[in-house]
Amino acid sequence: MHIVITGGAGFLGTRLARELLARGRLSLAGSAQQTIQSITLVDRVAPPADLAADSRIHAVTGDLNGIFEQNTAAAPVLLAQHAIIFHMAAAVSGECEADFDLGMRSNVDATRALLQACRALKTCPTVVFASSLAVFGNSPQQALPAVVDDNTLPTPQNSYGIQKFIGEQLVADYARKGFIRGRNVRLMTVSVRPGKPNGAASSFLSGMIREPLAGIRACCPVPRETAFALSSPARTVEGLIRAAQASDAEWGARTAVNLPALSTTAGDMAAALERLAGKEVAELIDWTPDAAVADIVTRWPARIDAARARALGLQPDGDFAEIIAAYMQSLGMTPLGR
């Protein structure tokens, strides 16, 4: 089996690649397991050294629009014989709101170019599209229900959410026409992400844990009672892989599957950090309001009823303390009381 991951040098892309390499085998759409022979990572930058050193990894660097335009020579060569494409590459929420053209090019034009390249293959590859809970947005004119479920109408309230919903519809229609096997997966906000802050409006939901653990002050731009729907990196990757493995009957409708979410608040996240790392660490969080960030993230749903995901065997994280503990252990730190 040959696999492509766009955004393959990013945080989730590299985590997905490492998990697939560790498994070594994968079932595609309900079929018998096959050996993973190669994984091609497509991104603007090269992958980390550990992945680059694996003989099963191939790296392609460049702009997705240029690589996947239907008439270029690169697309057929890159995608030939690849059974699964995990489409992870995207401009994130804050970037899209600040630069409309960047968002449209990265999230809409590149997605359609990729789908057109898949169509030209005539092999119906499986495309797992990483969408987002940002397709749901609260507004005075059309309020979200208290709990979002699989039948809730998407009502995005920012450019990123709109672009992700457009991507979902493109994947669904290319699947309906038989050009691909489509798997739209709505990711929750992922925390804790390692590394540096990115341009996502929700970046602080990792930064308020990651930075204090590194002895650096961090800002939380929303009140303590603000609620969120979160998922750990491990649960998120689990959901992406399960989407590729599910048979057509298991997957069901072409509409997107909401991944399971842990519902928590900014205050509860800080309290969990204090329990596991100490008061002096938690006190490195500055509670400084930012109206622009709050306007984006508080419109997203905080409670998800992910019935379709549960039917696929997927479950949310138990609590946020578990997520922090796993992150600390990945850094070689020992959580207090554990």
Domain holding 58: CATH number?
A: 3.40.50.720
- Find the radius of gyration of the CA atoms of the chain: 19
User: HSE (CB half, 13 Å, CA atoms) of 216?
Assistant: 12
> By percentage, how much of the chain surpasses pLDDT 90?
81
56 within a domain of the structure (yes/no)? yes
pLDDT at position 199 over 80: no
pLDDT at position 328 over 90: yes
327 within a domain of the structure (yes/no)? no
List of residues 6+ apart from 184 with CB closer than 8 A:
129, 131, 167, 168, 171, 172, 254, 255, 256, 257
Question: What's the mean pLDDT in 261-287?
Answer: 96
**Cβ distance 118 to 79 under 8 Å?**
yes
126 within a domain of the structure (yes/no)? yes
177 within a domain of the structure (yes/no)? yes
39 within a domain of the structure (yes/no)? yes
- For residue 253, the surrounding DSSP H or E stretch is none
Q: How far is CA 142 from CA 137, 138, 299, in A?
A: 9, 7, 11
Q: State pLDDT tens for residues 8-52.
A: 999 999 999 999 999 999 999 999 999 999 999 999 999 999 999
307 within a domain of the structure (yes/no)? no
Question: What's the mean pLDDT in 77-102?
Answer: 87
210 within a domain of the structure (yes/no)? no
User: Which segment of 68-72, 153-157, 235-239 scores lowest on mean pLDDT?
Assistant: 68-72
Q: How many domains does the structure of the chain reveal? A: 1
Average pLDDT, the chain: 92
285 within a domain of the structure (yes/no)? no
Tell me the whole-structure pTM to 2 decimals. 0.93
Identify the residue with better confidence: 156 or 71: 156
Question: What's the mean pLDDT in 296-302?
Answer: 89
**Cβ distance 26 to 33 under 8 Å?**
yes
Q: Which residues are catalytic?
A: 160
Q: State pLDDT tens for residues 221-272.
A: 999 999 999 999 999 999 999 999 999 999 999 999 999 999 999 999 999 9
What is the domain range of residue 253?
2-188+232-258
